Structures are given as C-alpha cells and as structure tokens.
Chain A
Amino acid sequence: MELEVKREKLLLRAGTQKFEWHIEPRYWRMPAIWIGLLIVLPIFIYIVYPQLLPTIIDANLLAAIAIPLGWMTIGTGRMNFGPQFYIGAGGYAAALASIHLGWGPAPTLLVALVAGLFFGLLMSPLSIIAGGLYYTLLTLLFPLVFLEVTFIYTDIFKGDVGLFGVLPLISVGNFTLNQFLICMLALFIMLIYLLIVDKLLRSKFAPQMSAINDDEEVAEAMGVNVKKVKIISFTIPAVMMAVLGWFYAHYYGTFAGITYLPLAFMLKILMVSMIGGRVQIYGNVIGGYFIAFLELVLIMLLGDYSPVVFPIILLILLLTLPEGLFGLYRKRRYREYLPTLHVRR
C-alpha cells in the first residue's frame, strides 16, 4: 500500500493494483462546479447561520462591481480609478426616482440604466482624449467632484445624511427570507456579469481589446476601430456599475454619497480587482469574497483597530502576491488570449 503524488497525478498502489487520479487543475476548471458552490453557499448559510447573509451579499456586490471594471480597464487600455462614480450616479437616480415619484425597484432600474448610460456616454470621450496618466488622475477626481456636488445641492441630495425612504428591493414579510432572496439576486447579477464578460473575453472582440491594450496606433493600422471599441467598453461597464448603485439604494433603503463616493470605497473595489487576480475576471469573485470576509473577521477579532489593520493586510497581500489570489492557482500561459492589464505611462 503506498500513496504518492507525481506529476499532477495521485498514485495509489495497493499490491499489484495501481490507481491514478488526475489532480490537474483543469479538472477543477468546470464552471458548473463553482457556480453550483456559489449557489449552495447562501442556501447553506440561510439554514445554518443567517446572520452571515449580509456578508455574502456584500461579497457578491463587490465582485459584481469589479467584473465590469476589469472589462473597462482592458477595453480602454487604461486604469479607471473612479468606478464608484457610476455607482453614485445609478444609486442617486434610483433613490430620487423612488422617493419623489414613489416608484418601486423595477421602474427605478430603468432610471438607473438611463443614468448610467448618460454618464457613461458623457465621459467615454475621455478615454480617447486623455492619455494614460491624465486619464487616471481625472477619473480619480470625478467621484470626488460628484461628492462635492451632493454637498452643494443639499436640498436635492441631502448631503452626508443621505436620501431616506427608498422602497425596499424585495419584501416578503420575513426578514431572513428577504435577506436570502436579496442575496440570491446579488449572486444572480454577479453571475450574469461574469457570464457576459467571460463570453466577451473569449470572443473575437478579445483580441482587439488586447491589441488596444498593447499598442493603440498599431491596432488602428491593423484595422481595429479603436474609438468604437473604447467607447463601447467604457459605456457598457458604466451602465453595469450603475445597476449596482440601484441595488445598493434599494437594498439599504437609503443612499448617501459619502458611503460610496470617497476613495475608501474605490480602494476596496480596486483591492478586489488587484488582490483577486490583477483584473482577471474570475479573480474578482475570489477577491470579492475574500475582502468581504476579511473585513468581517477583522471586525470580530479586533473591533476598534480593524480599520487600521485592514489596509495594512491589504498592502502586505498586494506586495506579496504578484498575480493576486487567483494567480496562486492559475499561472499565466501563453496559449490564453485573455487580455491582461497593462497600464501605459
């Protein structure tokens, strides 16, 4: 009887019998297994320990923000440091519509979509006009300006108190069941985004995005319509993020710019991307769950000190994991055509 691990195989010899199991990563790459796990997890938690449901919701939402951000980064070839702007736009649009017009989540979703589309289209020329560094800085500033606008027009945006009385996302009477359903909805949105972006990055649009990522001028000389690709991959992710603003507004019943627009929230999203796997879309899911649970654990363990320790841990992880958490498992192979992040100077 002997057991050995050899060349990605688990070998079991028992007498004259020999058994082999492949533990090659690709057998773990079945999306169905992982999606199944993600769906089973909330059900399990709902039955065992429903207090954890908000963390799961949080994790799914963080991942769902980071996924379109990855697409935006790859498609425009620049790092956007202001993703929370679109969350703010969608959230405020939905909350205002809900409060002043008494609309429920379904019609306000449309409002949020329109708001996201409007601001996405309005700002997309920036990805053509501004070069790498200028773009980074300007996108960093836009949410902060938005925050200031919410303070200037206090009568509309209610400043740092936030808008109250947004209609709930789902109400079935039972609080725990409510949370469970919201959790499933968040998971659903995240999986849909994952599916869309994954299909996109495996389609024939991926090479043109990676070409733009690498060298815009040559890409255009080789027949890629650079402006079109950039505007599309700026606007659609912006709309996708605006939907999450809508989700936040209806989920909490309140929306305050001070929660979402400052740099702290942006950093969290950025860390989901970076620690998850350097803008690898699957890494975003891992990163989202990791960061949400890390925050929870730190608050439980350290209480008052957790806001201090949290960024320190993130910094250490950022500097020690060269390819992110997802990179521990997935080594980049040349055969893959998935575009990777490449910030130009």
Chain B
Amino acid sequence: MSEILRVNNVSKHFGGLMAVSDVSLSINAGETVGLMGPNGAGKTTLVNMITGKYDVDAGDVQFMGHDITKMPTYQRCHLGISRTYQIPRPFPELTAIGSVAVSALHGKKRQNQSFEDALTDATHYLEFCGLFSKRNVLGKDLTLYELRSLELARALATTPKLLFVDEVMAGLNPGEAMKAVRLIERAKEEFGVTILWIEHVMAVLMKAAQRVVVLHYGKKIAEGLPQDIANDPFVIECYLGSCHA
C-alpha cells in the first residue's frame, strides 16, 4: 500500500486559540480512515487546512509526492482532493445537474470535453447517488438527505483520489443515515477513492474504518484500529469528560 497523503506536524491558531497543534497524519491509498473527536476538537480545521481553505501556520502537507502546503485550493482539487461539507453548501441557484456539471468540468483538466459531455458525465454521478429524478431541481429546494447525496455526487464528479467526508450522519434520521453510509461505501468500491471520514458517532467508524485517528483540543491523542480505540481508556475519558490533555 502506497502512501497518498502525509501531514507533517501542522498547526493552526485563531487568535490565541490553538485549533490544531502539531498533528501528523498519514493515509495510504485505498484506506478508509476515521477522524474523530468531540466538538471543537479541530477535525474540520484540519480538513480545511488539507483542502486549502486555511493557510497552514506550521508544518507541511504532502499529497502523492507533491508539496501542497501553499497550493491554491482549485489546484489541490485538480490533483485529486475533494470534500463534502458538514453543513451542506449547495449552489442554491443551480440545478442539481448543473452543480455536478461544474465539478465534472473543472474538477480535473480533461481534454475534449464539451459542456454537453459534462452534463452526460454529471447524470452518471447523479444516478449513482440516487438523485437522477431530482436533476432539474434547484439546489435550494432539495431536502437535507438529498443535499448530502448531491454533495457526494459533486465531490465524486471531480474524480478525487482522496475524499474527505465531513459528518454525513448529522441531522439525518437512522434510515437515511444508513443509506448515506452505504452510499459512501459503494462509492469507495466503485470509484476506488481513499476516504478520510470525520464523524463523532463511534458506531459508524467501528464498522467502516480500518484505522481511526482521535483529535482532542487540537492534538492527536490516539491512533489505531477501531476496536483498540474504542477500548482505549484515555479516549473514553476524553469523550466522557474529566480529561485535560
């Protein structure tokens, strides 16, 4: 298994708050890695640094042999990093197919692709996510589950190698959540993406992830197999409180 992403000692602070401090991470191709931690642990900040929304204060990020620490977001996307958002952020005035077409057109430099080709491509991803019947509905009119599916379709349409999934379960009912989890697992099989899965519902990661990384107050406190993490007394203590790491 070859290494696809390597994060070396990155830190980020907002004012006086250390959101992420000195975190290192390595992901191999084809893996599903869980990233968990209580609210405000710096999970999303870490993802924002890897995808390029925030600048990294210290440390560096390597993706497939490229140093992407200072690369603009869109170029990282062209290299094959994509993400979904914790709170879905659709293009409100674009139809579902239109927003997926944006990704299909610009997610990667492709040759000989017209707008029509991109639309055909987009239908494929929409169908995969079960949104084909909603293809002509505006982004602002979709329901939460549909929005999450749309976000996944949009992210997949950029043909990523590494996909960040940010809390798919939040706000969904159990049935929908199960569907969403299965959808991501299918996407992994079909498109061969590597997944970094942010979640604070332990049960999902126990099933889906091969490896789990735990963040707490911006620091990495544990890493290992899901079973080991679940039984780690330190992690349990952090989740239940009375921990001042």
Interface residues of A, Cβ cutoff 8 Å to B: 202-204, 206-208, 210-211, 213-215, 217-226, 334-335, 337, 339-340, 342
Chain B contacts with A in 87-109, Cβ cutoff 8 A:
89-95, 98-99, 101-103, 105-108
Q: Which of A204, A218, A220, A222 contacts B114 (CB 8 A)?
A: A204
CA gap between A220 and B78 in the complex, in Å:
11
Write out the residue numbers on chain A whose beta carbons fall within 8 Å of the beta carbon of B106. Answer: 208, 222-225
Interface of B is mostly: mixed
CA gap between A339 and B92 in the complex, in Å:
12
Q: Which of B52, B73, B85, B136 contacts A334 (CB 8 A)?
A: B136
Write out the residue numbers on chain B whose beta carbons fall within 8 Å of the beta carbon of A202. Answer: 115
CA gap between A192 and B95 in the complex, in Å:
29
Contact A207 B94 (CB under 8 A): yes
Contact B114 A215 (CB under 8 A): no
Contact A208 B102 (CB under 8 A): yes
CA gap between A229 and B105 in the complex, in Å:
14
Write out the residue numbers on chain A whose beta carbons fall within 8 Å of the beta carbon of B196. Answer: none
11 intermolecular pairs with C-beta atoms under 8 Å apart: A207-B118, A210-B93, A211-B94, A218-B85, A220-B72, A221-B52, A221-B53, A222-B107, A335-B95, A339-B93, A342-B93
Contact A215 B89 (CB under 8 A): yes
Q: A206-B115, A220-B74, A220-B77 are in contact. List 11 more A-B contacts (CB 8 A).
A: A203-B115, A204-B115, A211-B94, A217-B89, A219-B102, A221-B53, A222-B158, A223-B103, A225-B74, A335-B95, A335-B136
A interface footprint on B118-155 (CB within 8 Å = 1, 0 otherwise): 10000000000000000011110000000000000011
Contact B77 A221 (CB under 8 A): yes
Write out the residue numbers on chain B whose beta carbons fall within 8 Å of the beta carbon of A210. Answer: 91, 93-94, 98, 102
How many residues of B sit at the interface, in one of the four size bands?
35 or more
Write out the residue numbers on chain A whose beta carbons fall within 8 Å of the beta carbon of B139. Answer: 214
- State the Cβ distance, B199 to closest chain A Cβ, in Å: 20
- State the Cβ distance, B78 to closest chain A Cβ, in Å: 6
- State the Cβ distance, B93 to closest chain A Cβ, in Å: 5
Q: Which of B98, B113, B114, B155 contacts A207 (CB 8 A)?
A: B98
Write out the residue numbers on chain B whose beta carbons fall within 8 Å of the beta carbon of A226. Answer: 74
CA gap between A337 and B102 in the complex, in Å:
11
Contact A224 B74 (CB under 8 A): yes
Contact B105 A340 (CB under 8 A): no
A222 and B102 in contact, given A210-B91, A213-B93, A342-B93 (Cβ under 8 angstroms): yes
Write out the residue numbers on chain B whose beta carbons fall within 8 Å of the beta carbon of A337. Answer: 94-95, 98, 101
Q: Which of B83, B98, B108 contacts A221 (CB 8 A)?
A: B83
Q: Which of A221, A225, A339 contacts B51 (CB 8 A)?
A: A221
Contact A334 B102 (CB under 8 A): no
Most A C-beta atoms less than 10 A away, residue of B94, B113, B155: B94
The residue in chain A whose Cβ has the minimal distance to the Cβ of B122 is A207
- State the Cβ distance, A198 to closest chain B Cβ, in Å: 14
A223 and B78 in contact, given A210-B94, A218-B91 (Cβ under 8 angstroms): yes
The 8 closest A-B pairs by CB, nearest first: A223-B77, A214-B91, A204-B115, A223-B106, A223-B107, A334-B136, A220-B73, A207-B102
The residue in chain A whose Cβ has the minimal distance to the Cβ of B158 is A223
The residue in chain A whose Cβ has the minimal distance to the Cβ of B88 is A218
Contact A224 B137 (CB under 8 A): no
Contact B98 A218 (CB under 8 A): no
CA gap between A222 and B91 in the complex, in Å:
11
The residue in chain A whose Cβ has the minimal distance to the Cβ of B155 is A222
Write out the residue numbers on chain B whose beta carbons fall within 8 Å of the beta carbon of A342. Answer: 93
The residue in chain B whose Cβ has the minimal distance to the Cβ of A209 is B102
Write out the residue numbers on chain B whose beta carbons fall within 8 Å of the beta carbon of A204. Answer: 105, 113-115, 118
A interface footprint on B57-94 (CB within 8 Å = 1, 0 otherwise): 00000000000000011100110001101000111111
A interface footprint on B20-61 (CB within 8 Å = 1, 0 otherwise): 000000000000000000000000000000011100000000
CA gap between A220 and B53 in the complex, in Å:
9
CA gap between A208 and B52 in the complex, in Å:
19
- State the Cβ distance, B26 to closest chain A Cβ, in Å: 23
The residue in chain B whose Cβ has the minimal distance to the Cβ of A220 is B73
The residue in chain B whose Cβ has the minimal distance to the Cβ of A340 is B93
The residue in chain A whose Cβ has the minimal distance to the Cβ of B151 is A218
Most B C-beta atoms less than 10 A away, residue of A206, A208, A220, A339: A220
CA gap between A5 and B51 in the complex, in Å:
57
- State the Cβ distance, B154 to closest chain A Cβ, in Å: 6
Contact A223 B138 (CB under 8 A): no
A334 and B74 in contact, given A203-B115, A204-B118, A222-B106 (Cβ under 8 angstroms): no
